[in-house]
Amino acid sequence: MSESKKALATFHVNGEPHEVAFAPHKTLLEVLREEMNLTGTKHGCELGECGTCTVQVDGVPILSCLSLAVDAVGKDVRTVEGLAQGSELTPLQHCMADLGAAQCGYCTPGVLMAADALLKHNAKPSRDDIKEALAGNLCRCTGYLKIFEAVELAAARMRGEKAEPSKESIYGS
């Protein structure tokens, strides 16, 4: 692809084809937000230092601010907009909301995409597994604890367990 010339390509985002024209230096983050109006994916540092731009490409969580859009053509791109089925939130989204794991919410799309990828291949993650999977997602509000608890609760519910949040995580100790 030559300099600043836009080329047309078809992206597969959240299971739907999107035909977009963009130049080779455009990041996946820019194309998602500015060409497809998928503004759920946030931009923070744009240098790999915060994780709020996390999306999944072929199931793997990566940073869209450091990926070229052209490299995502032909791949399965998932963004936060693709989690809920219609108006039905995923268990992870429910738990994040119920447990106060999203405060200002700016980190939340990235956290959701990283945690969703974890839960897809690890049905029973330990606290350490969750910490590790989210070690590239900064949150300046929650102090992380509520996020970890939300992921644990979601994992339990996804395993079919009748799990409820602990009293401490809702009312404090």
Ligand X SMILES: Cc1cc2nc3c(=O)[nH]c(=O)nc-3n(C[C@H](O)[C@H](O)[C@H](O)COP(=O)(O)OP(=O)(O)OC[C@H]3O[C@@H](n4cnc5c(N)ncnc54)[C@H](O)[C@@H]3O)c2cc1C
Binding site for other proteins (CB under 8 A): 1-4, 23-27, 30, 43, 46-49, 51, 54, 60-63, 66-68, 70-71, 114, 132-133, 135-137
**Residue 150, contacted partner among ligand FES, other proteins, ligand X, none, CB below 5-8 A by kind:** none
Q: Choosing among other proteins, ligand FES, ligand X, none, which partner's interface includes residue 24 (Cβ < 5 to 8 Å by kind)? A: other proteins
List Cβ neighbours of 108 (8 Å cut-off, separation of 6 or more). Answer: 80, 96, 101, 102
Residue 71 interacting with ligand FES (CB under 6 A): no
Nearest to 114 by CA among 146, 89, 147: 147
For residue 103, state whether it binds ligand FES (rule: CB under 6 A): yes
Closest to 166 measured CA to CA, from 90, 119, 89, 100: 100
Cα 64–Cα 16–Cα 18 angle in degrees, nearest 5: 70
Residue 130, SS3 per DSSP: helix
Single out the residue of 40, 51, 82, 109 in contact with ligand FES (rule: CB under 6 A).
51
CB of 160 to other proteins, least distance (A): 27
- What are the helix and strand counts (H, E) for the chain? 6, 5
Question: With CB cut-offs between 5 and 8 Å by kind, which of ligand X, ligand FES, other proteins, none does residue 103 bind?
Answer: ligand FES
Q: Which of 106, 116, 117, 133 binds ligand FES (CB under 6 A)?
A: 106
Of ligand X, other proteins, ligand FES, none, which one sits near residue 104, judging by CB under 5 to 8 A according to partner kind? ligand FES
Task: Tell me which DSSP letter residue 123 carries.
Answer: S
Minimum distance from CB of 4 to other proteins (Å)?
A: 4
- Would you say 117 and 133 are in contact if contact means Cβ atoms under 8 Å apart? yes
Say how many C-beta atoms besides its own lie within 10 A of residue 116's C-beta: 23
The residues binding ligand X (CB under 6 A) are: 47-49
